[in-house]
Amino acid sequence: MKFVKLIFSFLAVIFSIDTFALADTLILPEPKGIYGVGTVNVELFDPARTQLRSEEKRRWMTTVFYPTLKTRATAPYMPGTLDDSNVFGTKVLGYAIPHATIINDHKFPVVISLPGRGNVRQQNTILYEALAAHGYIVITMDQPYVANFVKFPIGTKTTLIFKDVWNLPRDRDYRYAYDDEIIASAIKDIDFVLDNFQAFGDLSSAFDKTKIILMGHSIGANIAHIKGFADKRVKAIVDIDSKITERAVFGRIGVPPNPDAKPVLFIRGMLQYQEDVGDQLTKILNGSIWSLNVQHSAFSDDAYFAAKISNFGMGFWDSLYNWLFKRGPYFSNTDTNLGNYQVDEWFEQYPEYIVKWLEKIKNI
């Protein structure tokens, strides 16, 4: 027992050094749009439901990225989630300014976006800043006990429970059952948001409720196409490397039909192991497919950090310490290979492609 305490005391010292010895500053790619970017965290509460892994009433965090007057000012990365914007000893700055005044003289399309299993809602900040700068409002949200770290305004923090941490990487049947649970829960979260835009306060006056887009990465993309194809309020879907396998996901093998022929963009990371999906994506009505020789996590901010921060990525001991003491998000360099792309080229091209596709279908 004394040895274990000694180990964690040593790790605490290492983390303290890492936190207070910020030697470098890294600024995210500057968005190319005509607007500046604002951001705000909004906690949502649904007393009709309970949390996924506790009996507490359902609450979860969202972050909104939205258009503001153009500025080149920067602000700390992941406000409300990271205390000091420290990522492995580097102070990270982005272009989303907390609580900046939204452009409110006209309405903007609303993109509701969900991260992959285990990821934090703000881990696609580069993409969200680009969308907001081009005139989109992004509402990104994660789930307590699914995201690797959620911090609420009162200071409460949640991480994955031990049973899930142990079983998810080891038991495929457990993982698929877990995914079905989180899909069902996320769909109810989306319904709550669509039914309660007023929960976002004055920002909601700029929401164009007739132009709702669902977007997600990995299992978040499954949620986007499952819910998006079935809900009349959703007008388009952006599916970033969804989980498509030979096994049923949420009761169905493969991608569900798109009966209303809503525009859908499928983005596939082909360097990652992909089970054979045949030509099923080509059969989805009104679908566009963009296949890229990059890995699955190339679409997250982690891929940018992996290329820019020399010591980026948590090993076993710092991951364990981070989880046990709920210190912050889990950052990983796993599956961040960009293939033949240079990092700056990639993080300009990939958000730009999504923006151009959205502009093309905006008036459909």
Contacts 24+ apart (CB under 8 A), 18-25: 18/86, 18/88, 18/89, 19/84, 19/86, 21/89, 22/84, 22/86, 22/89, 22/90, 22/91, 23/89, 23/90, 24/89, 24/90, 24/91, 24/309, 25/90, 25/91, 25/92, 25/93
| pLDDT higher than threshold 60 for residue 63 | yes
Q: Is the dihedral of CA 170, 176, 180, 183 positive or negative?
A: positive
| Average per-residue pLDDT for the chain | 92
pLDDT score for 103 = 96
Q: Read off the pLDDT of residues 249-306 as tens digits, 9 standing for 90 and up.
A: 999 988 999 999 999 999 999 887 665 666 788 899 999 999 999 999 999 999 999 9
**What CA–CA distance (Å, rounded) separates 127 from 222?**
19
Residue 189 in tokens? 């979260």
Q: Residue 197: which of 187, 207, 188 has the closest Cα? A: 207
| pLDDT higher than threshold 90 for residue 175 | yes
pLDDT score for 12 = 43
Q: Read off the pLDDT of residues 101-137 as tens digits, 9 standing for 90 and up.
A: 999 899 999 999 999 999 999 999 999 999 999 999 9
- Percent share of the chain, pLDDT over 70: 92
> CA-CA-CA-CA torsion for 157, 162, 168, 174, nearest 10 degrees?
-110
pTM: 0.93
pLDDT score for 2 = 43
| pLDDT higher than threshold 90 for residue 197 | yes
pLDDT score for 246 = 82
pLDDT score for 364 = 63
pLDDT score for 271 = 87
| pLDDT higher than threshold 70 for residue 21 | no
Q: Read off the pLDDT of residues 135-146 as tens digits, 9 standing for 90 and up.
A: 999 999 999 999
- Percent share of the chain, pLDDT over 90: 83
Pick the CATH number of 105-361 from 3.40.50.170, 3.20.20.10, 3.40.50.1820, 3.40.50.150: 3.40.50.1820
pLDDT score for 26 = 98
| pLDDT higher than threshold 60 for residue 211 | yes
Distances (CA, A) of 118 to 178, 184, 196, 323, 332: 12, 16, 26, 12, 11
> How would you label 70-100 residue by residue, b for 16+ Cβ within 10 Å and e otherwise?
eeeebbbbbbbbbeebbbbbbbbbbbbbeeb
**What CA–CA distance (Å, rounded) separates 37 from 106?**
16
Over residues 334-340, mean pLDDT: 95
Over residues 200-228, mean pLDDT: 97
Distances (CA, A) of 201 to 35, 44, 197, 257: 21, 12, 8, 35
Q: Is the dihedral of CA 307, 64, 121, 109 positive or negative?
A: negative
DSSP assignment of 297-356: GGGSHHHHHHHH-TT-S--HHHHHHHHHTT-S-----TT---TT--HHHHHHHHHHHHHH
DSSP assignment of 193-246: HHH-GGGGGGGGGGEEEEEEEEEEETHHHHHHHHHHHH-TTEEEEEEES----S
Let me know: does 39 contact 98? Beta carbons within 8 Å.
yes
Confidence class of residue 362 from pLDDT cuts 50, 70 and 90? Answer: confident
Q: Is the dihedral of CA 339, 345, 350, 356 positive or negative?
A: negative
Confidence class of residue 79 from pLDDT cuts 50, 70 and 90? Answer: very high
